[in-house]
Structure 1
Amino acid sequence: MKWFPRILLTRMEGACVTDLKPITALGASSARVQSMGSLTLCETPDLAFASLALRRGQGVPTPFGLALPQAGGFVGQNGLGAFWTGSDQWMLCAEGRGDSDFAADVRAQAPGCSVTEQTDGWAAVDVTVADDAQMQTLLAKLVNLNPEFLSPGHATRTGLHHMTVFVVRPNTTQLRVIGMRSLADSLWHTLATTAKRLGVSSRPQAQSPN
């Protein structure tokens, strides 16, 4: 996964040298996970992002075999996904590739397109629930959107408290909320607070020390 380094100084042979320690967007050495009854929040630091935009006159590519979706859509397979972000623009994501040059892989799959590395700019939290009914209850408290906009296989950009986020629903029981990395703590707090309002108890899971 691609981490932001924590800078420490280690004294060696009479001099101080930089000792880099990787941390997640939430400031720990491993992903934060918190269960609240049948609902689970999970930070996803190993998720890679790259934006893709068509240039004038280009056809729509199929990177990694993905048929890039229309407005409001999401497609995914084998740990790879793509969602629409604007006219002739998409965000691609890949699980387990946060420490790789994912943008270079996307460029190779979509020659001539404008591709930009986005991994370091975003933080994502996956929300997993028991069933569609619980998801609908969560969405009603989380965002002011028509439920049809976030049915399985859809994605949208919306406001969440003071933040602008992408909300992606890969399947019936999973929701992925993507916000600016600099607001990762606020994003987690908002999701955890909303989950608690569903009336389930909180049970934080073990996390490695900072």
Structure 2
Amino acid sequence: MPDLKPIAALGGDTARRLHHGALELEENTELALASLALRRDATQPAPFGIDLPGLGVWAQSDEIAAFWTGRDQWMVEGQNRADRDFASEIAALCPGSSVTEQTDGFVAFEIRSSAGETPILQLMAKLVNIDPIRFPSGSATRTGLEHMSVFVIRRAAHHIAILGMRSAAGSIWQALESHILRIGDRKP
């Protein structure tokens, strides 16, 4: 049996990072994901004590977060849990729900600004079809990024996350990198 070694979505042994001007882009290799859907007549659970959010909302408690993806459906995030069977953990806490492991199907990119929210607003205005002023902290939605479908999460005023299909990781990185290189040098 060969000695198998996991690699990041972008093919490296470690997460890829880019720092340019006020913006930092990082591949988040430690984020576990599981989709959760209620079955008919099931009571809405609260995995790890999180009240599952409604349309357009992202909710967080410590290293666990969730965002709405459809009627009675959510994506649950577990920071620093990518090396665990996260879906089994969620399933054990959510009877009457269907839970599916999503960690290896998605890639997550974290974008932070060291100069407040202005660079993030400028980046969002160029990247995605979302009005950044109407997308405050705690918001999440699915939208298009160039030719790809992605989830955008506003984790904080100065921090957004882009989640997309792992098979498109290189294309998503390239799109984010090109916009960051253009915006990163602007003064707030």
TM range (shorter): over 0.9
Moved over 6 A (4+): none
Residues 135-150 of structure 1: matches in 2 within 5 Å?
135-150=120-135
- Structure 1: tracts of 5 or more residues without a match: 1-16, 202-210
Classify the secondary structure of the residue corresponding to 2:24: strand
- TM-superposed CA distance for 1:155, in Å, is 0.2
Give the partner amino acid of 2:21. G
Answer yes or no: is the 8 Å Cα contact 2:137–2:155 preserved in 1: yes
Deviations 1:154-196 (A, max 9, x none): 0000010111000011111110000000110111110010111
Is 1:78 equivalent to 2:62 in the alignment? yes
Answer yes or no: is the 8 Å Cα contact 2:58–2:138 preserved in 1: yes
In structure 1, distance between residues paired with 2:52 and 2:98? 15
- TM-superposed CA distance for 1:147, in Å, is 2.4
Give the partner amino acid of 1:179. G
Q: TM-score normalised to the size of structure 2?
A: 0.94
Residue 158 and residue 24 in structure 1: after superposition, are their counterparts in 2 closer, same or farther (change >3 A)?
same
Residues 51-200 of structure 1: matches in 2 within 5 Å?
51-129=35-113, 130-198=115-183, 200=185
- Structure 2: tracts of 5 or more residues without a match: none
- TM-superposed CA distance for 1:21, in Å, is 2.2
Answer yes or no: is the 8 Å Cα contact 2:22–2:119 preserved in 1: no
- TM-superposed CA distance for 1:148, in Å, is 4.7
In structure 1, distance between residues paired with 2:38 and 2:12? 37
In structure 1, distance between residues paired with 2:165 and 2:134? 22
Identity %: 47
- Count matched residues: 185
Deviations 1:88-147 (A, max 9, x none): 100001111101000000011111201111011000000001212221111111112222
Which moves more between the two structures, 65-74 or 147-156?
147-156
Q: Tell me what 2:5 maps to.
A: 21
In structure 1, distance between residues paired with 2:86 and 2:66? 13
Asked which structure has the greater CA Rg, the reply is: 1
In structure 2, distance between residues paired with 1:19 and 1:107? 31
RMSD value, Cα: 1.3
In structure 2, distance between residues paired with 1:108 and 1:19? 31
